[in-house]
Chains A and B, each alone.
Chain A
Amino acid sequence: MENAIIELEGLTKFYGSLKAVDNLHLKIKAGEVFGLLGPNGAGKTTTILMMLGLTEPSAGTAKVCGFNATRDPISVKRKVGYMPDNVGFYDNMTAFENLLYIARLNGLGIDNVHDRVQEMMELVGLGAAMHKKTSAYSRGMKQRLGLADVLIRQPEVIILDEPTLGIDPTGVKEFLQLIRELSRQQGITVLLSSHHLHQVQQVCDRVGIFVGGKLLAEGNIHQLSQNLFSEESCLVTITLADTPPDTAELESMLSEIGAVRKVTVSGNGVDISCVENITPELVRLFVEKGFGITGVYRKEYGLEEIYQQYFDNNLTENVSHGKSSGLFQRSFFRKTAN
């Protein structure tokens, strides 16, 4: 990849004997929206902390905007805006003052910093609650303030750790749209970690699936589904008006088509797994043979399936390995407990 803005090479982090992040290699292009997906305790936050130099890797390097995050965290932090998952503010100050403080810390305290702060507060939709103490803020408002806090510094890279936690569905949509919009217009690179699959699916160019400290797969959703469901990257279900008289004949007829891998006939439903999308040909064939079609449904593999597949694979793998299964069980239960 040519202009990688985030480069992780062999990044590893131990907590005692627990390997939180395991030999992670990852490159993120400038201007990309990258989603880091994984269950709780997968090492997402640890990875992010290492990118910001807030914790030291046990091995490997993290390079952000060309700076080594461990050696030169200040240069990295000048370019990167980070919103932690549990964003906190000074409760005894108003939201405006909180934001002003951050702006001043970033050396913006000279010209029209007040206007700038106000503009930001209005942008994230907190214009009316600007002079309230942050202790009176709801979780969602704090999250928005957190975004303002990140954006006021004009970062090149934005790292968001579980950004949609605690925001209502419409809020999430707006929030993600804003992020997407920003990335498109200003060429800002966005890295967001989440376990909310749908949301990530909506905005990310690429995703990385991260379980147990390992990056199991990365790529865009299409690539991932091809990798994972190479056997059956496309599943077409055709519902017929009547039950076909000779199922065996129908199956053999369909199997002759090159792209078809598997045919299952059950009642008046026909499931056809194929390598590529040949739905039009299939429909034409059925019509030519005189079948009445009442419904055609093409199933696409979304992130949910992809994630589930990886997660399940990993779970069974670990159960079969016996020893280290505890970690995944535990992280799974923690997820459900949340």
Chain B
Amino acid sequence: MESPAVYFKDLFSGRLRIKKAARSEAAFYNRPFAVMVRKEVADHIRSWRFIVLLILIVLTFAGAMYVSLSNLKAAVSNENDPDHLFLYLKLLTATDGSLPPFHIFMSFLGALLGISLGFDAINAERNNGTLIRLLAQPVYRDNLLLAKFVSALIIVAALFLSLSLLMIGGGLVITGVPIETAEVFRILSFVILTVLYVGFWLSLAILLSVKFKQATTSALTAIGIWLFFTVFYRIIVNMIVRSFFPDPNLLAQDDILFYNNLILDLLRLAPSQLYTDATTTLLMPSVRSLGPLTMEQMAGAIPSPLPFRESVLIVWPQVSGLLASTAACFALAYFWFMRREIRT
């Protein structure tokens, strides 16, 4: 801090102000939002937290691939399975029971990934005193929330896309069987669905990070919600069914169907159930319905794989459910954050 006058002679005279033409050209990359997203992505990639999660997911993926590869021959030559010719889908789903398939793993790990990428999004910045400094810059508040969300999603999308491409590439090298278009679409939509599922937990975690001032509180709450849905929710639904629903032995078939659907609908309030339903349908083309089917409905049906479009139509309610809950969490976070007083 010496002889400031000399240094400041030019600085404020506008010498360094940006020319208009250059500004419009590079404007897109230098909008505050893009700058924030870049910084957040860089932060995530460098953080130990993400590296640990990455290792966890890659190990899971490798384990699941190993199990499915060693069972691939049996799965593909099983004539009773209508899906046995979808080699690459079998790679993702085949298992001998020693390990769950990758998409079931993801219903646990995806939630963990989303929570850990988002639980301290806002409150850590607030506690470090960076939030107030950031918001004193000419940036919109929602840009910050959106940047936190988008940057984590970009990372997750890149992670899963590269994993599935690795899987396809590995499959090509090992088996030499060319991939079918339907399989490409199914695997791609599996990736999109997984990103969406992680996005739900991410937006929930960001919501909690806006609500709670301590990062640990928001992390614990998020994990609590996750545990509730994965462990306790099913038990609670079973308890309700056992104590309030009539004995199925005394019911007509239509009533049994009705109650079964009701139970399934209750279970589908859990996001992990939505995700498992949707991925199962996408990765196993022969799945025709996610609810119980009557004998009349099944009569005349040939056990063959459905076209991609039909599978998508079946899972559409699940996808919209996930999208809606993601949007709801995000909107609530937005609502709480926008008019909140920022101070350290």
Q: Please pick, from B9, B17, B29, B138, the residue contacting A77 in the complex, using a CB distance under 8 A.
A: B138
Give B133-147 interface residues, CB cut-off 8 Å to A. 133-140
Q: How far does the alpha carbon of A281 sit from the alpha carbon of B60 in the complex, in Å?
A: 95
Q: Please pick, from B4, B16, B128, the residue contacting A182 in the complex, using a CB distance under 8 A.
A: B4
Q: Please pick, from B18, B133, B136, B339, the residue contacting A108 in the complex, using a CB distance under 8 A.
A: B18
Q: Please pick, from B4, B16, B32, B133, the residue contacting A88 in the complex, using a CB distance under 8 A.
A: B133
Q: Does B344 contact A (CB under 8 A)?
A: yes
**B35 and A88 contacting across the interface, CB-CB below 8 Å:** no
Q: How far does the alpha carbon of A175 sit from the alpha carbon of B9 in the complex, in Å?
A: 18
**B133 and A84 contacting across the interface, CB-CB below 8 Å:** yes
Q: Does B245 contact A (CB under 8 A)?
A: no
Contacts of A77 in B (CB 8 A): 136-139
**B35 and A87 contacting across the interface, CB-CB below 8 Å:** no
Contacts of A56 in B (CB 8 A): 339, 341
Contacts of A104 in B (CB 8 A): 30, 35
Q: How far does the alpha carbon of A125 sit from the alpha carbon of B140 in the complex, in Å?
A: 32
Q: How far does the alpha carbon of A125 sit from the alpha carbon of B5 in the complex, in Å?
A: 14
Please, what's the 1-or-0 string for A10-46, where 1 marks a CB less than 8 Å from any CB in chain B? 0000000000000000000000000000000000010
Chain A, residue nearest B5 (CB): A181
**B35 and A54 contacting across the interface, CB-CB below 8 Å:** no
Contacts of B250 in A (CB 8 A): none
Taking the closest CB of chain A, its distance from the CB of B141, in whole angstroms, is 9
Chain B, residue nearest A85 (CB): B344
Taking the closest CB of chain A, its distance from the CB of B26, in whole angstroms, is 5
Please, what's the 1-or-0 string for A118-136, where 1 marks a CB less than 8 Å from any CB in chain B? 0100111100000000000
Q: Which of A89-97, A206-214, A259-267 contacts B (4 or more CB under 8 A)?
A: A89-97
Contacts of B29 in A (CB 8 A): 109
Q: Does B129 contact A (CB under 8 A)?
A: yes
Q: Does B7 contact A (CB under 8 A)?
A: yes
**A123 and B136 contacting across the interface, CB-CB below 8 Å:** no
Give A218-272 interface residues, CB cut-off 8 Å to B. none
B-side interface residues, number (CB < 8 Å): 41
Q: How far does the alpha carbon of A174 sit from the alpha carbon of B4 in the complex, in Å?
A: 10
Give B30-54 interface residues, CB cut-off 8 Å to A. 30, 32, 35-36, 39, 43, 46-47
Contacts of B2 in A (CB 8 A): 125, 174
Q: How far does the alpha carbon of A55 sit from the alpha carbon of B342 in the complex, in Å?
A: 7
Q: Does A111 contact B (CB under 8 A)?
A: yes
Contacts of A111 in B (CB 8 A): 16, 18, 22
Give A127-184 interface residues, CB cut-off 8 Å to B. 144, 146, 149, 151, 153-154, 171, 174-175, 177-178, 181-182
A104-B30, A111-B18 as given contacts; A124 in contact with B136, CB under 8 Å: no
**A86 and B129 contacting across the interface, CB-CB below 8 Å:** yes
Q: Does A116 contact B (CB under 8 A)?
A: yes
Q: How far does the alpha carbon of A109 sit from the alpha carbon of B23 in the complex, in Å?
A: 9
**A78 and B138 contacting across the interface, CB-CB below 8 Å:** yes
A88-B344, A154-B12, A186-B12 as given contacts; A52 in contact with B136, CB under 8 Å: yes
Contacts of B5 in A (CB 8 A): 181, 185
Q: Does B11 contact A (CB under 8 A)?
A: yes
Contacts of B304 in A (CB 8 A): none
Give B220-252 interface residues, CB cut-off 8 Å to A. none
Please, what's the 1-or-0 string for B91-107, where 1 marks a CB less than 8 Å from any CB in chain A? 00000000000000000
Give A302-321 interface residues, CB cut-off 8 Å to B. none
Q: Does A110 contact B (CB under 8 A)?
A: yes
Please, what's the 1-or-0 string for B264-289, where 1 marks a CB less than 8 Å from any CB in chain A? 00000000000000000000000000
Q: How far does the alpha carbon of A81 sit from the alpha carbon of B9 in the complex, in Å?
A: 19
Taking the closest CB of chain B, its distance from the CB of A261, in whole angstroms, is 45
Contacts of B9 in A (CB 8 A): 185
Q: How far does the alpha carbon of A108 sit from the alpha carbon of B7 in the complex, in Å?
A: 19
Contacts of B138 in A (CB 8 A): 74-75, 77-78, 105-106
Q: Does A107 contact B (CB under 8 A)?
A: yes
**B8 and A181 contacting across the interface, CB-CB below 8 Å:** yes
Contacts of B139 in A (CB 8 A): 74, 77, 105
Contacts of B43 in A (CB 8 A): 90, 92
Q: How far does the alpha carbon of A137 sit from the alpha carbon of B7 in the complex, in Å?
A: 24
Contacts of B1 in A (CB 8 A): 123-125, 144, 171, 174-175, 178
Contacts of A85 in B (CB 8 A): 344
Q: How far does the alpha carbon of A54 sit from the alpha carbon of B2 in the complex, in Å?
A: 33
Pairs A-B, 7 closest by C-beta atoms: A88-B129, A55-B341, A82-B136, A125-B1, A77-B138, A186-B12, A88-B128
What are 13 A-B residue pairs whose CB atoms fall within 8 Å in the complex?
A74-B138, A77-B137, A88-B130, A90-B130, A92-B47, A108-B18, A109-B29, A123-B4, A153-B137, A181-B8, A185-B5, A185-B12, A186-B8
Beyond A56-B339, A88-B130, list 12 extra A-B contacts (CB 8 Å).
Answer: A75-B138, A77-B138, A87-B129, A88-B132, A90-B128, A101-B39, A105-B137, A108-B16, A110-B18, A151-B11, A174-B1, A185-B5
A interface list, Cβ under 8 A from B? 45, 49, 52, 54-56, 74-75, 77-78, 80-82, 84-92, 101-102, 104-112, 116, 119, 122-125, 144, 146, 149, 151, 153-154, 171, 174-175, 177-178, 181-182, 185-186, 188
